Amino acid sequence: MSGKSRREFLKKSITAGAIATGLSSSTLKAGPLNILSPDRMGVLVDTTVCVGCRNCEWACKDAHNLHAGNLDSYEDRKILETKRRPDHTALTVVNEYPRGKYSNLPIDVKVQCMHCDHPACVSACIVGAFSKQENGSVIWDTDMCIGCRYCMAACPFQIPAFEYDKALDPLIMKCDFCFDRTKEGNLPACVNICPVEALTYGPRTELIKVARKRIKRNPDRYIDHVFGELEVGGTSWMYLASKDFKELDFPDLGKNPAPGVSESIQHGIFAYFVPPVSLYVLLGGIMWITKRRKELGTEEKI
């Protein structure tokens, strides 16, 4: 069987499967939404301003129905003694680093999804659950997510987290740039609460200008680097810092989008699938092909 005819076969059998499972053809999209709007929004995180109050952590949980607890309990600074990563219980975390030998003040760095301009997670998602929205947010559709964790492996910032502790239907979790809030014209919860406005929300192009201006006006305060302006092809969340980003545990990434982004490998084959029911159809199809291939002795790879 040639590649083309096999793909056609797959399309047909999947459509058949979808129809069989009662899905209208309008829900079957040709690929994930991946918009790079010139007006996309972003956040500039100024780590020289952040006071490490962790109010953003609380607000984020509160806005996402995660167990947030009492805001007062976030005053505990002991937790900052160990480095943390965002996970399914906290979509953003603040880590603390020494400013240098001669300062009592630490540097605090808020970590969350960077909302890449060319998101590896969107490309990696085999079912097209991930999308880059017009306002810059990289979000995912929980109903579509099959928990395969390809996004976790693809993300250059190791952001998507998996609900390992959930026995039933564990799903991917990450910062969604408060898509539900911004849709309604509200600020992201973390931006809204930050007492010192270390997080500036605005159009990405505008934020780059603001960042450059701050560096120019305070060359002693900042290093001349806006992290996220160019990294992995640009990100919606960008950072300013007083010292090398490597010392603040930022990954040293090139300017090219993460590997796999441009190729969009999976979509060619899997974009038409509607999980999880159609997955069974797919698996059935694959089994059928494999069986057929064995019979025909072909060495072609899927």
Contact residues toward ligand SF4 (CB under 6 A) are 50-56, 59-60, 63, 91-92, 94, 108, 110, 112-116, 119-121, 138, 155, 157, 159-160, 174-178, 188-190, 193-194, 196, 198-199
Q: How far apart are CA 276 and CA 16, in angstroms?
A: 15
Alpha-carbon gap, residue 14 to 248, rounded angstroms: 47
Nearer to another protein, 17 or 52 (CB): 52
Q: What is the spatial distance between Cα 194 and Cα 4, in angstroms, rounded to a whole number?
A: 54
Closest CA to 266 of 133, 155, 149, 127: 127
203 CB-contact burial (10 Å; exposed 0-12 / middle 13-18 / buried 19+): middle
Integer Cα distance of 256 and 232 in angstroms? 5
Structure letter (DSSP) for residue 44: E
Number of shown-chain residues binding another protein (CB under 8 A): 31
Residues 190-209 vs another protein: string with x where CB under 8 A?
Answer: -xx-xxxxx-xxx---xx--
Of 198 and 281, the one with the shorter C-beta distance to ligand SF4 is: 198
Judge contact between 159 and 175, C-beta under 8 A. Answer: yes
Give phi and psi for 60, each to the nearest 5.
-65, -45
CB 99 within 8 A of CB 105: yes
Q: Are 112 and 92 in contact (CB under 8 A)?
A: yes
Residue 104 interaction partner, one of ligand SF4, another protein, none, beta carbon < 5-8 Å per kind: another protein
When binding is defined by CB under 8 A, the residue of 14, 45, 53, 145 that contacts another protein is 53
114 binds, among another protein, ligand SF4, none (CB under 5 to 8 A by kind): ligand SF4
- Letters for 104-123 (x = contact with another protein by CB under 8 A, - = none) are xx------------------
For ligand SF4, the closer of residues 186 and 298 by Cβ is 186
Stretch near another protein under the rule CB under 8 A, chosen from 31-39, 82-90, 99-107, 276-284: 99-107
The single residue among 12, 77, 84, 216 that binds another protein, judged by CB under 8 A, is 77
Nearest-approach distance from CB 209 to another protein, in angstroms: 8
187 binds another protein (CB under 8 A): yes
Q: How far apart are CA 147 and CA 164, in angstroms?
A: 10
| 81-84 CB contacts, 8 Å cutoff, 24+ apart | 83/249
Sites for another protein among residues 10-49 (CB under 8 A): 49
H-assigned helices in 125-178: 150-154
Q: How far is the CB of 83 from ligand SF4 (least distance, A)?
A: 15
Binding site for another protein (CB under 8 A): 49, 51-55, 71-72, 74-75, 77, 101-105, 187, 191-192, 194-198, 200-202, 206-207, 210, 213
